[in-house]
């Protein structure tokens, strides 16, 4: 009976170590705050604007102001082979971002993949906008 329980426990452990973790961006604390009049954020003055912020997240942040004027923020670390820390770059016009390592493309509207080999979306962070400040947190 002991051997059967031990075998069952080993099987459960092995099954829980699936490839589901593949393509996941590591969890890191993110706490970016800046006044809305910060010169780094000037491109966010209208819908469709996008800015890149370095030094936060895994590979930096992309903050995008959607055409409906809602703000979204993503980690620049591509979900294609995230262990490479390949930073996606916003395309011109700023509706998508491209992973220069794999050629994958992601929508900046919601982070979803729009071109293979990407299968998972970009890691999204919470955006809080007040009258004077924008915050990107997790």
Model pLDDT for residues 79-135, shown as the tens digit of each residue: 999 999 999 999 988 799 999 999 999 999 999 999 999 999 999 999 999 999 999
Give the per-residue pLDDT at 23.
Answer: 59
Residue 70 is part of which domain span?
26-137
Neighbours of 90 (CB within 10 A): 20
Q: What is the pTM of this model?
A: 0.82
89 by Cβ neighbours in 10 Å (0-12 / 13-18 / 19+) ranks as: middle
> Is 44 in contact with 90 (CB distance < 8 Å)?
no
How many independent structural domains does the chain possess? 1
Give the per-residue pLDDT at 1.
Answer: 52
Find the helix or strand (DSSP H, E) in which 35 lies: strand 31-35
pLDDT in tens, 6-64: 444 444 333 333 444 555 888 999 999 999 999 999 999 888 999 999 999 999 999 99
| 11 in a structural domain | no
Instruction: Provide the CATH number for the domain around residue 128.
Output: 2.102.10.10
Give the per-residue pLDDT at 2.
Answer: 52
């Amino acid at each position: 009976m002991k051997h059967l329980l031990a075998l069952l426990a080993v099987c459960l452990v092995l099954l829980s170590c699936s490839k589901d973790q593949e393509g996941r961006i590591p969890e890191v604390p993110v706490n970016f705050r800046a006044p809305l009049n910060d010169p780094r954020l000037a491109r966010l003055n209208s819908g469709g604007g996008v800015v890149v912020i370095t030094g936060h997240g895994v590979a930096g942040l992309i903050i995008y102001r959607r055409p409906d004027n809602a703000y979204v923020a993503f980690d620049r670390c591509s979900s294609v082979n995230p262990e490479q820390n390949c930073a996606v770059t916003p395309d011109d016009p700023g509706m998508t971002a491209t992973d220069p390592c794999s050629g994958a493309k992601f929508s900046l509207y919601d982070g979803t993949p729009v071109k293979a080999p990407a299968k998972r979306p970009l890691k999204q962070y919470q955006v809080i906008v007040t009258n004077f400040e924008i915050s990107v947190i997790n």
